[in-house]
Structure 1
Amino acid sequence: MKGSKTIVCGCLLGAAIMTGSTVALAQSVPPASTEDESAGGPMGSQAQPGVRPPRSQPRAAVAVPGGQTGTPNLPQAIRWTEDWSQPVSKDAPLIDRIKHIPIGSDDIYLSLGGEARAYYTAWDHQNAGRTANDANDPVQRRLRLLADLHMGPHVRAFVELGDNREYGSSLVTPPNRGPFDVEQAFLDVTVPLGKAGKLTLRPGRFEMPLGNGKLVTLRDGVNQRVLYQGLRATYALPGKISVDTFAVRPVNIKDGEFNNAPNHTQSFHGVYVSAPHVVAGFGVDGYWFQVKRDTALNAQGRASENRSSWGARLWQRTATWDLDVEGTYQSGRFGTKDISAWAMMMDGGYTFPKVALQPRLGLRANVFSGDGNAGNDTLGTFVAPAPRYQMLNAGGLFNYSNLMNLNPTLTLKPARSVTIVTGAQLYWRHRIADGAYVGPAGASFASASARRIGTAMEIDISWQATKRLQFGVANSYFMPSKSLESVGGKYGNYFGAYTSLRF
């Protein structure tokens, strides 16, 4: 198996080198959607949800039911945001003709497609020493087939089937192992309201990234994205406002065929309101999420949990600078304790478009609250509903709990289709009395003597070779602080390389 992994890795890198560049990044532990992930690969670092790099997608998709689709005739990371409404010439290649198969008339048509992705990861200390024997170097293989039936402008039926395999893994990751099953299956019914906008109802199973995807993400770093089953309803007045409401359950990923099902021990409800360009050109979002879990885990143990997140976001992106600021407060109950937690998240940067390589200097800063006193009646540890762990580390090393981090970055564009992002991640605990939470399971290191956790050095190289073909490589090297080493923390190195074909 080692030989086959070497061949896979060599082919991915060789293809990139032969064509003059390379691509984005991923991880073999479940991160969860999102701005970084939704550029098409596990890390497309500068994209909005559903959006490709600027050259290939001048029109941004809006990842809500009934929202604006992406640039016509281009595959998207979120497949139901694609626009294949225009008839295709009978002389076009078959791969184009299957995107618009008319059924009686041009506005009633079937669109067929799919994806094939191979992804190699190599880990030294995947959990930074929190668990024993945590070296891991699996190969993931993702296959997708989809059918999107448009029955006029107001009704559509979307079905996506998937097959997910993982080879050579020493640590079981359920989202990487899901034989043939239904990924998505939903019906969209849109009610036009004239000048007042439109209302779209979506019952079924679906992907559901929200906002910038930091708190509710796609999770593209593993074979299987985060899926939900239930009902979603979206009111949209294009260019003015959207109001997205949902009542869903996360889908359990099982190692078997056609056996994935809603997780009846968890529920997820909420409202997300977005109004672009309303305050001096800034967009303003507001949201409420409620997550109920029969059993939740943190450093204080296990208990039932009912956690609400109340948040607001201010954002803008121009040709030269970008800013995204978000704040969230959490309330509710964990067992017998009241929840009082919070988070502040900031991304910003300045791009020099007329300078060689179009450099962007960026800074990401986050604070996720921890618990300062395990003996009182209040839990202060922040827990995101479905976080994008890659925001904190290329390999998804840390969780959104009791963490402060700074991430200065430099982005370069050696070609219009190539993006290189490099930078450092600096980590501290918010509260010394609380632990350092590692991985999606939130396993916590015992309390150490200092706030500092460590530093990671990262590089992510992405290449959109064609409108359908993408490559990527990335590396992240984590250096623990002496304080973390004193309680068993170890260095960690993550390497990822992938290729993805969407049709």
Structure 2
Amino acid sequence: MRTLVCLFLLLACYVKIFAQTIPPFNSIRFSEDYSFLKNDSLKNWYEKLKYNQLSKKGRAFISIGGEIRYQFFRFHHEDWGDAPDDNNGFILTRYLGHADFHAGKSFRTFVQLQSSLANDRISPSPVDENLLDLHQAFFDISIPINKANKIVVRLGRQEMAYGSQRLVALRDGPNNRQSFDAGKLIYSGERLKTDVFYAHFVKSKPAIFDDGFNKDTKFWGSYTVINHLSYIQNIDLYYLGIWKASAFFDDGEAKELRHSIGSRIWNNIKGFRYDIEGLYQFGKFGGKQINAWTVSINSGIKFNELKLKPELGIKAELISGDRFYDDKKLQTFNPLFPRGNYFGLAALIGPSNLLDLHPSVSLEITKKLLLNADYDAFWRFSENDGIYSPNVSLTYSGKNIPDKLIGQQYSTDIVYTANNFLYFRVEFTWFNAGSFLKAAGTGKDIIFTAFTTQLKF
């Protein structure tokens, strides 16, 4: 903790200098490009860290960066009263460090280490704690077609994120981000980008350098983004396939082969944004036929001319659940590899067998200080299916429980972005347990408080 505070203070001393030249960091760190510093002959020590020239002409260079995130969490009645209560809370700390080497415009390699620690956490899961491991290690070979188009071949361990990250995400909210051992072919043009990939999900393990190759979860597909279209402006088209040696739903456990076909239209113009997505899933779960689907809408309008620049948002989702137990079909939707904080940092509910309605409001107190408040109501879509956590593990079975109301979640958070490097967030969540939770378990209300501070460099 003392080291963390010292790093924060050290960076704060230099922030005015750095802010003049270094753009905001990306959530996907390997997408950052610091080659613009090539011709800067008066680089300070930090700029040299971001662009360290290795050849006379500057075609070869290496960039160093990282992240330190500190979080304090406290749950009252965790798991709606069915988990041991921890009155003192616990601390999650994540360290990320990377090196990005470029040799001209045709070759690059990116290596990143991750250490995720869970202090005072009762029985931490692999998502909470991974002492030290190789999080990413891949190389790119870039093949230019013309000035506007190129093909990139990427091989190795890598993060993947697509669209709104409802299906394939970085999993940045939880303490341990997720990655894949993958081969990927990327085509980039002026208005179109397509990824084709085959991957194995990297299963997180708690010890040091033990996240080996995982043959139990295979993942493949293609994802295309087309921009600047008439009327709808932007559209995503995708196919995603998954095979799991063992999958568990409320209707049983078996091998799973699932195909997902979907589309997303989205835009953000003049303060109005919309994101509409729908997809259909089919395949086999043991001897059962998969027939699942989801549709979602996420829209908002921001009044930039008003004081505090309020933004009103509304999200709603229909996510299929299994219709009958012990039949030859499975309608439970599998969200694949979604955001861990899908419905807030507390991460209480996952996107399977769900109907939710989620209005929100955001206020810009200052340019650096943002206040958010939201309400989320959850119901089971089908009474013959349970509820699931964000990683698709069954939280409560729905057998012999007709009640559909899961509960209502009230959340508020304050975000202070000091600069490109420092970020602070305080969050409070109250989950009012509904009739289903009271019938399925202890059914106590959850109160969750969290403090996050993050340094990127």
Q: Distance in 2 between matches of 1:134 and 1:306?
A: 38
Residue 377 in 1 paired to residue 325 in 2?
Answer: no
Which residue of structure 2 lines up, in the alignment, with residue 264 of structure 1?
Answer: 215
Which residue of structure 1 lines up, in the alignment, with residue 72 of structure 2?
Answer: 120
Residues 199, 236 of structure 1: 8 Å contact kept: yes
Residue 463 in 1 paired to residue 416 in 2?
Answer: yes
Which residue of structure 1 lines up, in the alignment, with residue 385 of structure 2?
Answer: 434
Change (3 A) 1:204 1:241: same
Matched letter for residue 469 of structure 1: L
Q: Please state whether the residue corresponding to 1:246 is helix, strand or coil.
A: strand
Q: Distance in 1 between matches of 2:83 and 2:284?
A: 33
Matched letter for residue 484 of structure 1: L
Which of 233, 258, 265 is matched with 2:185 structurally? Answer: 233
Q: Distance in 2 between matches of 1:87 and 1:196?
A: 22
Identity %: 29
Q: Give me the CA root mean square deviation.
A: 2.3
Moved over 3 A (4+): 71-74, 88-93
Q: Distance in 2 between matches of 1:146 and 1:233?
A: 23
Residues 127, 439 of structure 1: 8 Å contact kept: no
Q: Please state whether the residue corresponding to 1:194 is helix, strand or coil.
A: coil
Q: Please state whether the residue corresponding to 1:80 is helix, strand or coil.
A: helix
TM-score by length of structure 1 reads 0.83
Q: Distance in 1 between matches of 2:344 and 2:250?
A: 21
Which residue of structure 2 lines up, in the alignment, with residue 499 of structure 1?
Answer: 453
Matched letter for residue 432 of structure 2: M
Change (3 A) 1:199 1:87: same
Deviations 1:325-348 (A, max 9, x none): 000100001111000000011100
Residues 230, 248 of structure 1: 8 Å contact kept: yes
Q: CA deviation at 1:195?
A: 5.3
Q: Please state whether the residue corresponding to 1:356 is helix, strand or coil.
A: coil
Deviations 1:456-497 (A, max 9, x none): 000122122111111111121100113431232221122221
Residues 461, 474 of structure 1: 8 Å contact kept: yes
Matched letter for residue 127 of structure 1: D
Q: Distance in 1 between matches of 2:238 and 2:334?
A: 16
Q: CA deviation at 1:227?
A: 0.6
Q: Distance in 1 between matches of 2:344 and 2:80?
A: 12
Which residue of structure 2 lines up, in the alignment, with residue 308 of structure 1?
Answer: 259
Residues 244, 273 of structure 1: 8 Å contact kept: yes
Matched letter for residue 169 of structure 1: R
Residues 118, 124 of structure 2: 8 Å contact kept: no
Deviations 1:135-187 (A, max 9, x none): 48221111122111111112111111222211000132112222222111110
Residues 396, 440 of structure 2: 8 Å contact kept: no
Q: Distance in 2 between matches of 1:226 and 1:456?
A: 26
Which residue of structure 1 lines up, in the alignment, with residue 194 of structure 2?
Answer: 243
Q: CA deviation at 1:416?
A: 1.7
Q: Distance in 2 between matches of 1:381 and 1:195?
A: 46
Which of 270, 293, 310 is matched with 1:359 structurally? Answer: 310
Q: CA deviation at 1:385?
A: 0.8
Q: CA deviation at 1:349?
A: 0.7
Q: What pairs up with 1:121-270 in 2 under 5 angstroms? A: 121-129=73-81, 131-133=82-84, 135=86, 137-194=89-146, 197-238=149-190, 240-270=191-221
Which residue of structure 1 lines up, in the alignment, with residue 425 of structure 2?
Answer: 472
Higher RCO structure (Cα 8 Å, ≥6 apart): 1
Which residue of structure 2 lines up, in the alignment, with residue 108 of structure 1?
Answer: 60
Residues 342, 390 of structure 2: 8 Å contact kept: no
Residues 389, 400 of structure 1: 8 Å contact kept: no
Q: CA deviation at 1:74?
A: 3.3
Q: What pairs up with 1:310-459 in 2 under 5 angstroms? A: 310-440=261-391, 441-447=393-399, 448-459=401-412
Residues 389, 397 of structure 1: 8 Å contact kept: no
Change (3 A) 1:178 1:418: same
Q: Distance in 2 between matches of 1:387 and 1:221?
A: 11
Matched letter for residue 456 of structure 1: Q
Q: Please state whether the residue corresponding to 2:427 is helix, strand or coil.
A: strand
TM-score by length of structure 2 reads 0.91
Q: Please state whether the residue corresponding to 1:267 is helix, strand or coil.
A: strand
Q: CA deviation at 1:276?
A: 1.3
Q: How many equivalent residue pairs? A: 439
Q: CA deviation at 1:191?
A: 0.5
Deviations 1:280-307 (A, max 9, x none): 2520111111110010011012111001
Q: CA deviation at 1:243?
A: 0.8
Residues 333, 339 of structure 1: 8 Å contact kept: yes
Q: CA deviation at 1:125?
A: 3.0
Q: Distance in 2 between matches of 1:142 and 1:408?
A: 31
Residues 457, 477 of structure 1: 8 Å contact kept: yes
Matched letter for residue 496 of structure 1: A
Which residue of structure 1 lines up, in the alignment, with residue 230 of structure 2?
Answer: 279
Change (3 A) 1:400 1:281: closer
Q: CA deviation at 1:420?
A: 1.8
Q: Distance in 2 between matches of 1:497 and 1:211?
A: 28
Residues 195, 224 of structure 2: 8 Å contact kept: yes
- Structure 1, 435-444 or 117-126: larger mean CA deviation: 435-444
- Structure 1, 493-502 or 423-432: larger mean CA deviation: 493-502
Change (3 A) 1:446 1:133: farther
Q: Distance in 2 between matches of 1:75 and 1:364?
A: 27
Which of 76, 80, 92 is matched with 2:26 structurally? Answer: 76
Q: Please state whether the residue corresponding to 2:415 is helix, strand or coil.
A: strand
Residues 234, 244 of structure 1: 8 Å contact kept: yes
Q: Distance in 2 between matches of 1:79 and 1:408?
A: 31
Residues 289, 309 of structure 1: 8 Å contact kept: yes
Matched letter for residue 241 of structure 2: Q
- Structure 1, 259-268 or 320-329: larger mean CA deviation: 259-268
- Structure 1, 88-97 or 425-434: larger mean CA deviation: 88-97
Change (3 A) 1:135 1:401: farther
Q: Distance in 1 between matches of 2:207 and 2:437?
A: 39
Q: Distance in 2 between matches of 1:220 and 1:148?
A: 20
Q: Please state whether the residue corresponding to 2:152 is helix, strand or coil.
A: strand
Deviations 1:54-101 (A, max 9, x none): xx99xxxxxxxxxxxxx9643222111112112365554322221111
Q: CA deviation at 1:128?
A: 2.4
